[in-house]
A and B are shown apart, each in its own frame.
Chain A
Amino acid sequence: MKKINTSCIIDDDDIFIYGTKRIIKEVNFCEEILVFNNGQDALDEFKKLTDLGKELPSIIFLDLNMPIMNGWEFLEQFTKIENNNQDKVIVYIISSSVDPRDLEKVGNYEIIHNYILKPFSSKDLESILKDVTA
Chain B
Amino acid sequence: MPDLATSTINLLIKDSPKAIAVVDTNMCIIGYSNTWLRTIAKSQTSVTGKSYYTILPDTTKSLQKIHKSCLSGGGHVVEKTKLIHSDGSIQWTKWKINAWHNELELIGGLIIVQDDITDEKRREDLLLKAESVARIGGWEVDMRSGVVYWTDVTKEIHEVPKDFIPTLEEGINFYKKGESRDNITSLVSDAIAIGKPWDTELQIVTAKGNELWVRAKGETELVDGKCIRIYGTFQDIDTKKRIELEYQRISNRLKIATDAAHIGIFDYDITKDKLVWDDHMFAIYNVDKKAFKGTFESWTSVLHPDDLAKSEQIFQSAVASSNKFDTEFRIIWPDGSIKYIKSRASIIKDAEGNPKQMVGANWDVTEFRTTKLELRRNHESFTGVFDKSNVGMVILGLNGRLLEVNKSLCVSLGYSHQELIKMTALDITYKEDIKESIRITKDLTSRKISSCHLEKRLYHKNGKIVHVLIMVTSVNDINGNLSHFIAQIVDMTSRIEAERRLKTLVEVTRGQNESLMNFAHIVSHNLRSHSTNMSMLIQFLAQEKGSNERKNIATMLSKAAESLNETVMHLNEVVQIKTGALEKMKSTSLIASINNVKDTLGALIKEKEASCKFDICKTHYVNVVPAYLESILLNLFTNSLKYASPKRKPKIKVTSKINKDSIEVHFSDNGQGIDLKRYGEKIFGMYKTFHNNKDAKGIGLFITKNQIEAMYGTIKIVSELDKGTTFILNFKKE
Chains A and B form a bound pair: yes
Interface residues of A (CB under 8 A from B): 13-16, 18-19, 22, 37-38, 65, 67-68, 73, 95-99, 118-121
Closest Cβ–Cβ distance, residue B666 to chain A (whole Å): 27
Q: Is B537 an interface residue (CB 8 A)?
A: yes
Closest Cβ–Cβ distance, residue B621 to chain A (whole Å): 38
Given contacts A15-B556, A98-B525, contact A67 B688 (CB under 8 A): yes
Q: Is B691 an interface residue (CB 8 A)?
A: yes
Q: Is B483 an interface residue (CB 8 A)?
A: no
A67 touches B537 (CB 8 A): no
* Distance in angstroms between the alpha carbons of A18 and B553 in the assembled complex: 9
A15 touches B687 (CB 8 A): no
A65 touches B559 (CB 8 A): no
Closest Cβ–Cβ distance, residue A26 to chain B (whole Å): 9
Q: What are 9 A-B pairs with beta-carbon distances under 8 A?
A: A15-B537, A19-B536, A38-B692, A65-B687, A67-B689, A67-B691, A67-B696, A68-B690, A119-B536
* Distance in angstroms between the alpha carbons of A38 and B678 in the assembled complex: 15
Within 8 A of A (CB), among B509-559: 521, 524-526, 528-529, 532-533, 535-537, 540, 556, 559
Given contacts A22-B540, A98-B525, A98-B528, contact A13 B691 (CB under 8 A): no
Q: Which A residues are in CB contact (< 8 Å) with B526?
A: 96
Q: Which A residues are in CB contact (< 8 Å) with B689?
A: 67-68
A120 touches B536 (CB 8 A): yes
Q: Is B698 an interface residue (CB 8 A)?
A: yes
Q: Which A residues are in CB contact (< 8 Å) with B524?
A: 96-98
**Tally of chain B residues near chain A (CB < 8 A):** 24
Q: Is B597 an interface residue (CB 8 A)?
A: no
B696 touches A97 (CB 8 A): no
Q: Is the interface of B mostly helix, strand, loop or mixed?
A: helix
Q: Which B residues are in CB contact (< 8 Å) with A96?
A: 524-526, 528-529, 532
* Distance in angstroms between the alpha carbons of A65 and B682 in the assembled complex: 12
Q: Could you say which of A19, A67, A68, A99 contacts B540, with CB atoms under 8 Å apart?
A: A19
B521 touches A99 (CB 8 A): yes
Q: Is B560 an interface residue (CB 8 A)?
A: yes
Q: Which B residues are in CB contact (< 8 Å) with A95?
A: 525
B525 touches A19 (CB 8 A): no
* Distance in angstroms between the alpha carbons of A68 and B559 in the assembled complex: 23
A67 touches B690 (CB 8 A): yes
B533 touches A15 (CB 8 A): yes
Q: Which B residues are in CB contact (< 8 Å) with A118?
A: 528-529, 532
B692 touches A67 (CB 8 A): yes
* Distance in angstroms between the alpha carbons of A95 and B537 in the assembled complex: 17
| 4 pairs of A and B residues whose beta carbons are closest in the complex | A67-B689, A119-B532, A96-B528, A99-B521
8 other A-B residue contacts (CB within 8 Å) besides A13-B533, A19-B540, A120-B532: A13-B529, A16-B529, A19-B536, A96-B524, A96-B526, A97-B525, A98-B525, A119-B535
Q: Could you say which of B521, B537, B688, B691 contacts A97, with CB atoms under 8 Å apart?
A: B521
Q: Which B residues are in CB contact (< 8 Å) with A22?
A: 540
* Distance in angstroms between the alpha carbons of A14 and B559 in the assembled complex: 10
Looking across the interface, which residue of chain A has its beta carbon closest to that of B688? Answer: A67
* Distance in angstroms between the alpha carbons of A84 and B698 in the assembled complex: 37
B533 touches A19 (CB 8 A): yes
Looking across the interface, which residue of chain B has its beta carbon closest to that of A64? Answer: B525
The residue among B533, B556, B687, B696 with the most chain A CB atoms within 10 A of its own CB is B533
Q: Which B residues are in CB contact (< 8 Å) with A14?
A: 556
B540 touches A65 (CB 8 A): no
* Distance in angstroms between the alpha carbons of A65 and B525 in the assembled complex: 9
Given contacts A65-B525, A96-B528, A119-B535, contact A15 B559 (CB under 8 A): yes
* Distance in angstroms between the alpha carbons of A67 and B701 in the assembled complex: 14
Closest Cβ–Cβ distance, residue B362 to chain A (whole Å): 89
Closest Cβ–Cβ distance, residue A134 to chain B (whole Å): 27
Mark interface residues in B551-586 (1 if CB within 8 Å of A CB, else 0): 000001001100000000000000000000000000
* Distance in angstroms between the alpha carbons of A14 and B696 in the assembled complex: 15
Q: Which A residues are in CB contact (< 8 Å) with B535?
A: 119
* Distance in angstroms between the alpha carbons of A119 and B698 in the assembled complex: 23
Q: Which A residues are in CB contact (< 8 Å) with B688?
A: 67
Closest Cβ–Cβ distance, residue B179 to chain A (whole Å): 100
Closest Cβ–Cβ distance, residue A31 to chain B (whole Å): 22
Looking across the interface, which residue of chain B has its beta carbon closest to that of A19? Answer: B536
* Distance in angstroms between the alpha carbons of A15 and B555 in the assembled complex: 10
Given contacts A96-B532, A120-B536, contact A15 B525 (CB under 8 A): no
Closest Cβ–Cβ distance, residue A15 to chain B (whole Å): 4
* Distance in angstroms between the alpha carbons of A96 and B691 in the assembled complex: 22
Looking across the interface, which residue of chain A has its beta carbon closest to that of B682? Answer: A70
